[in-house]
Amino acid sequence: MIRQPDPKPDVMVRRDSIVAGLRKLLPETGLIAEPLRLKPYETDGLSAYRQVPLAVALPETTEQVAAVLRFCHQNGVRVVPRGAGTSLSGGALPMADAVVVGMMRMNQILDIDYPDRCAVVQAGVTNIGITNAVSADGFFYAPDPSSQLACMIGGNVNMNSGGAHCLKYGVTANNLLGLKIVTIDGEIIDIGGAYLDAAGYDWLGLLTGSEGMLAIVTEVTVRILRGPEGARAMLAAFKSNEIAGACVDSIISSGIIPVALEFMDRPAIHACEAFAHAGYPLDAEAMLIIEVEGSVEEQDRLLEQLSAICRNFDPISLKISQSAEESLAIWKGRKGAFGAVGRISPDYLCMDGTIPTSQLPHVLRRIQEMSDSYGLKVANIFHAGDGNLHPLIMFDANNPSSFHAAEEFGADILKLCVEVGGCLTGEHGVGVEKRDLMPVQFRPHELTQQRDIKSAFDPDWLLNPSKVFPLLDSETAVLPRAA
Amino acid sequence: MTTEDSIVAAVADAVRTREPLLIEGNGTKACMLRPVQAARSLSTSGLSGINLYAPKELIISAWAGTPLPEIEAALAEGGQHLIAEPPDLSGLLGSTGKPQTFGGIVATNLSGPRRVAWGAMRDHVMGVRAVTGRAEIIRSGGRVLKNVTGLDLCKLLTGSHGTLGVITEITLKVLPAPEATGTLVLPGLDAAAGVGVLSAALGSPYGVSGAAWLPAEAVGRVAGLAGVAGSATLIRIEEFAPSVAYRIGRLHDQFGVAGSVVLDTAASRSVWKDVGDVRPLVAAAEDAVWRVSVRPSAGAGVLDALRPLGVTGFLDWGGGLVWLAGPANTVTHTAVEAAATAAGGTWTLVRAPDALRGAVRVVPEEAAPLARITRQVKAAMDPAGVLNPGRMYAGL
């Protein structure tokens, strides 16, 4: 189970006056305090954990965010920022004494600047909403997390979200130019802007992936890119994970960097095929989806070179998409992977470690051993080019011991990721889910140093305070170290 | 210093005696930003060597004092390269006779022409080890390409000019070096027209990886552009050879003007090396040099605004990076600051006599709430203020 800090008694007893105070700062429908209407905010994408917050604020402007934070700061009230609530690590899990600041009403695209290839959007614009706004002109916003239909750019910034095309286009941090943020004391600050490499410290880089602990993001200046002439996928199936892993190495060594390079193991192939009927080879132990970009002739040439590489690894089958429709079909299974696993098992945990790619066969073997010993099935999906592994652990939520075992299994996988030279999370964030594993990756003084940076932004530890770092005694958690 | 432990000891000693340290590698960029007020120096140059190079994992790890050319040579042997194309600014900053270090280029976050398409040094730093002002070794990131575990101190330390920690080891993402490079050279366009073409080219589907505009006097300083008359607008493609031919062809069809030239791989590499190393900038020995970053469409306006003051320059990053040289005095400096600010951008005083760079801001002043955070973060990393004091901001 996840431990939460005790609610602050002085805040709980002042609940009514806090709600009344916040109500004055927001539009008429901008504050939710009725228990029934708070219910939808009690959890996020990590739905095993629930906590109804004290209230939910739904600001419509940066100034309203500032007023709410200033009020919470003056009253010692904790704040949990929230976008669409799609976090898989519990990044938006409320606390009983906290005000959730939901950003979904700040959903305007403020500026699109094609000559300078950037757009300014409010934090509550969805990830796909940015691409949709510019796609008619041939442009797109590159990071494409699986939740992109729902997740919001403010949440993407706070989790430094990735996606399937990071190998070429990078993650959120690599696609931002500027932010408008509000600090806990209600100050509005512009970071960067519509230009590259702001002078001074890299606040943009530090804030990206800071999981709502340093400030609330209200506006984002993103890079938008012109899309390639075209893209096409191929599918290669192999007799073992080792062989598929060796093929990935060989592709990277060839100098070709595909725009996407996705790996699925046998259970993942079967789950996705049953769901999407994408024509995946059911006799394979492992499968790669490889996508390239360029003109039709460039695609043909690259896909032929990649096929030649794959043929060196005795593939069970190779299928080169001949059209945009066939590429979509190849992607359909992969993009529906979570839904597909959900059909086999009503409940699953989606893990998110990163490993050095050379360790893939070893790690998959160890995960299979763990799966046998825990008695829980697992399907593995892997962004093979960048080493980001997503084991989906299936369990039965009606059986508490099954859930407990799934959590332990997941923790063992993440410890294994660190053991082989990787990390606890590649793109989902630490949140509450992996908070207590942080000492596996970091030494105590390294965590203290990170805590000190949080204290520099938020000395009273009011912003998303129970995330990312293992809980300390509450007093020591809020005290910055003496010099 | 030849070990991390000796750096820890030196920082601990500085804290104990309250004697600040000048943190450097080979000191090739010592004259950037403000002069550091420190009686003692700490160099990482003895801490040298590549610790890990895994070409199939697109990762290289090396000690901070490793000469950058050594890293570049190892990568070249593996058919790979540094994605951000970091420049060698010795032509601007003067040569110490020693090469710049890996740590130095990361601590200053300097990137070359490819930055416009493929990101800055800070985008590819996957892991760092550093000694903080508490004389503690901390790690952030790791040796994998995707990592969001904890606060990203890699990015905070990159570009912090040694003021928050002594970077001791860096792990960098690398990529295969392109098989071929081609450059379309369009002569005779003025800055605004040149930037218009660069914007259109960067907004094309061809993956342009370099986009610069040089005035006539700058063209004359680039050997690979001999024979080009007037200004030069440069558009680069780096790809497999057939793709370079195809894409340069398409760009030529769309943007070609009378006298357009296409440079081959060797000529292109030479020209873009010069552009990245700021060789085209006409700067007298006593001139100050600024680096301004604005939205690309504002770059030509910055040049125009400063020309009457005797400031010359050229444009990279599609117009967004403005390199400027001019009289080293506060009047000119204030004008550069005003022009960059009016264009909604940022600026850095890269080179100036000590008297000037010690007397003026060298990067923009932060708004008061951010300046407060800056002081608190500095205090969190270096509470005794012993690491490169005054380098970026006076009194910090």
Asked if residue B83 is part of any domain, the answer here is: yes
CATH class of A345-431: alpha beta
Q: What is the pLDDT of residues B270-289, one digit of tens each?
A: 999 999 999 999 999 999 99
**Residue among B59, B123, B379 whose CB faces A174 most closely:** B123
Give the residue from B276, B294, B311 where a domain finishes: B276
Q: Measured between CB atoms, does A439 come within 8 Å of chain B? A: no
Q: What is the pLDDT of residues A53-94, one digit of tens each?
A: 999 999 999 999 999 999 999 999 999 999 999 999 999 999
How many residue pairs from chains A and B have C-beta atoms closer than 8 A?
A: 257
Q: Count Cα neighbours of B257 within 13 Å in the Cβ-side half-sphere.
A: 15
| Contact flag A195-B243 (C-beta cutoff 8 Å) | no
Asked if residue B289 is part of any domain, the answer here is: no
CATH of domain A9-102: 3.30.43.10
Q: Note whether B10 and B110 are same-domain residues.
A: yes
Q: What is the pLDDT of residue B96?
A: 84
Q: Measured between CB atoms, does A216 come within 8 Å of chain B? A: no
pLDDT band at A335 (very low <50, low <70, confident <90, very high): confident
| Contact flag A453-B205 (C-beta cutoff 8 Å) | no
Please list every residue in chain A whose beta carbon sits closer than 8 Å to the beta carbon of residue B296.
115-117
Three-class HEC string of A80-94: EEECCCCCCCCCCCC
User: Of B317, B184, B314, which is closest to residue A117 (Cα–Cα)?
Assistant: B317
A286, containing H or E segment: strand A286-293
Please give the C-alpha separations between residue A436 and each of A147, A236, A433, A469, B126, in angstroms, as whole numbers: 25, 39, 8, 7, 23
Q: Measured between CB atoms, does A299 come within 8 Å of chain B? A: no
Please say whether the beta carbons of B213 and B149 come within 8 A.
no
| Contact flag B120-A355 (C-beta cutoff 8 Å) | no
| Contact flag B320-A116 (C-beta cutoff 8 Å) | yes
Beta bridge partners of A395: A347
Cβ atoms within 10 Å, residue A373: 11
Q: What is the pLDDT of residue B210?
A: 98
Tell me how close the Cα of A389 comes to any Cα of chain B, in angstroms.
10
Residue of B nearest to A202 (CA): B156
- Which of B149, B171, B341, B393 to mutate to probe the A interface, most A CBs <10 Å? B149
For chain B, the distance separating the N- and C-terminal CA atoms, rounded to the nearest angstrom, is 25
CATH number of the structural domain spanning residue B113: 3.30.465.10
Please list every residue in chain A whose beta carbon sits closer than 8 Å to the beta carbon of residue B115.
196-197
DSSP letter assigned to residue A323 = S
Q: What is the pLDDT of residue A332?
A: 87
B-contacting residues in A 309-338 (Cβ below 8 Å): none
| Contact flag A449-B123 (C-beta cutoff 8 Å) | no
Q: Note whether B143 and B114 are same-domain residues.
A: yes
**Residue among A204, A227, A421 whose CB faces B205 most closely:** A227
| Contact flag A197-B346 (C-beta cutoff 8 Å) | yes
| Contact flag B148-A429 (C-beta cutoff 8 Å) | yes
Q: Measured between CB atoms, does A304 come within 8 Å of chain B? A: no
A12: pLDDT strictly greater than 70: yes
Asked if residue B299 is part of any domain, the answer here is: no
Q: Measured between CB atoms, does B152 come within 8 Å of chain A? A: yes
Q: Note whether B139 and B249 are same-domain residues.
A: no
Q: What is the pLDDT of residue A481?
A: 53
Q: Note whether B27 and B156 are same-domain residues.
A: yes
Tally of structural domains, chain B: 2
User: What is the domain range of residue B47?
Assistant: 4-176
| Contact flag A202-B160 (C-beta cutoff 8 Å) | yes
Asked if residue B197 is part of any domain, the answer here is: yes
Tokens for A375, please give them: 């008695």
Phi-psi region of B119 (alpha: psi -120 to 50; beta: other; left: phi over 0): left
Please give the C-alpha separations between residue A395 and each of A375, A456, B232, in angstroms, as whole numbers: 9, 41, 64
Q: Note whether B209 and B126 are same-domain residues.
A: no
A376: pLDDT strictly greater than 60: yes
| Contact flag A480-B380 (C-beta cutoff 8 Å) | yes
pLDDT band at A475 (very low <50, low <70, confident <90, very high): very low
Which residues are CB-neighbours of B88 under 8 A, at least 6 positions away?
B68, B100, B277
| Contact flag B345-A193 (C-beta cutoff 8 Å) | yes
Question: Residue ranges per domain, chain A?
Answer: 9-102, 109-226, 231-337, 345-431, 437-478
Average pLDDT value over all residues in chain B:
97
Asked if residue B386 is part of any domain, the answer here is: no
Phi, psi of B206 (to 5 degrees): -95, 0
CB burial of B17-51 (b: ≥16 within 10 Å; e: otherwise) equals: eeebbbbbbbbbbbbbbbebebeeebbbbebbeee
Q: What is the pLDDT of residues A105-135, one digit of tens each?
A: 999 999 999 999 999 999 999 999 999 999 9
B-contacting residues in A 256-285 (Cβ below 8 Å): 256-257
Q: Measured between CB atoms, does B252 come within 8 Å of chain A? A: no
**Residue among B142, B160, B164 whose CB faces A422 most closely:** B142
| Contact flag A202-B155 (C-beta cutoff 8 Å) | yes
Dihedral angle, C-alpha B55, B58, B62, B67, nearest 10 °: 80
Residue of B nearest to A429 (CA): B148
Q: What is the pLDDT of residue A474?
A: 54
CATH number of the structural domain spanning residue B263: 3.30.70.2190
Q: Measured between CB atoms, does A178 come within 8 Å of chain B? A: no
Please list every residue in chain B whose beta carbon sits closer than 8 Å to the beta carbon of residue A210.
151-152
Q: Note whether B171 and B215 are same-domain residues.
A: no
| Contact flag B119-A445 (C-beta cutoff 8 Å) | no
Q: What is the pLDDT of residues B332-375, one digit of tens each?
A: 999 999 999 999 999 999 999 999 999 999 999 999 999 999 99
Q: Note whether B97 and B22 are same-domain residues.
A: yes
We find that the CATH architecture of domain A109-226 is 2-Layer Sandwich (3.30)
Distance CA A122, CA A217 (A): 9
Asked if residue B377 is part of any domain, the answer here is: no
Q: Note whether B228 and B243 are same-domain residues.
A: yes
- Which of B80, B114, B126, B145 to mutate to probe the A interface, most A CBs <10 Å? B145
Q: Measured between CB atoms, does B176 come within 8 Å of chain A? A: yes
A479: pLDDT strictly greater than 50: no
User: Of A111, A371, A173, A249, which is closest to residue B154 (Cα–Cα)?
Assistant: A173
Please list every residue in chain A whose beta carbon sits closer than 8 Å to the beta carbon of residue B159.
197, 201-202
Q: What is the pLDDT of residue A337?
A: 85
Mean pLDDT of B301-328: 98
Q: What is the pLDDT of residue A325?
A: 87
Distance CA B332, CA B287 (A): 11
Q: Note whether B122 and B228 are same-domain residues.
A: no
Give the residue from B221, B241, B276 where a domain finishes: B276
Q: What is the pLDDT of residue A477?
A: 46
Q: What is the pLDDT of residues B92-113, one digit of tens each?
A: 999 889 999 999 999 999 999 9
| Contact flag B136-A445 (C-beta cutoff 8 Å) | yes
B-contacting residues in A 31-60 (Cβ below 8 Å): none
A192: pLDDT strictly greater than 70: yes
Q: E-strand spans in chain B?
A: 21-24, 40-43, 50-54, 59-63, 80-82, 125-132, 137-141, 165-176, 180-187, 210-214, 232-239, 261-263, 288-293, 312-316, 321-326, 346-351
Tell me how close the Cα of A421 comes to any Cα of chain B, in angstroms.
7
Distance CA A286, CA B44 (A): 46
Mean pLDDT of B293-317: 98
Give the residue from B276, B306, B332 where a domain finishes: B276
Tell me how close the Cα of A465 comes to any Cα of chain B, in angstroms.
14
Name the residue with tokens 């070359």.
B112
Q: Note whether B43 and B184 are same-domain residues.
A: no
Tell me how close the Cα of B226 comes to any Cα of chain A, in angstroms.
30
Q: Measured between CB atoms, does A444 come within 8 Å of chain B? A: no
| Contact flag B246-A442 (C-beta cutoff 8 Å) | no
CATH of domain A231-337: 3.30.70.3450
| Contact flag B148-A425 (C-beta cutoff 8 Å) | yes
Please list every residue in chain A whose beta carbon sits closer than 8 Å to the beta carbon of residue B246.
295, 297-298
Q: What is the pLDDT of residue A473?
A: 64
Asked if residue B78 is part of any domain, the answer here is: yes
Tell me how close the Cα of A366 comes to any Cα of chain B, in angstroms.
19
Please list every residue in chain A whose beta carbon sits closer than 8 Å to the beta carbon of residue B243.
294, 298
Instruction: Strand A31-32: give its sheet, edge to edge.
Output: A31-32, A55-57, A98-102, A78-82
Distance CA B89, CA A395 (A): 58
| Contact flag A354-B144 (C-beta cutoff 8 Å) | yes
Residue of A nearest to B111 (CA): A197
Q: Measured between CB atoms, does A174 come within 8 Å of chain B? A: yes
Please say whether the beta carbons of B171 and B58 come within 8 A.
no
Distance CA A209, CA A206 (A): 7
Q: Note whether B159 and B212 are same-domain residues.
A: no
Asked if residue B285 is part of any domain, the answer here is: no
User: Of B317, B306, B314, B315, which is closest to residue B283 (Cα–Cα)?
Assistant: B314
Q: Note whether B32 and B99 are same-domain residues.
A: yes
| Contact flag A197-B207 (C-beta cutoff 8 Å) | no
Return the higher-pLDDT residue of A341 and A117. A117
| Contact flag A456-B380 (C-beta cutoff 8 Å) | yes
Q: What is the pLDDT of residue A476?
A: 44
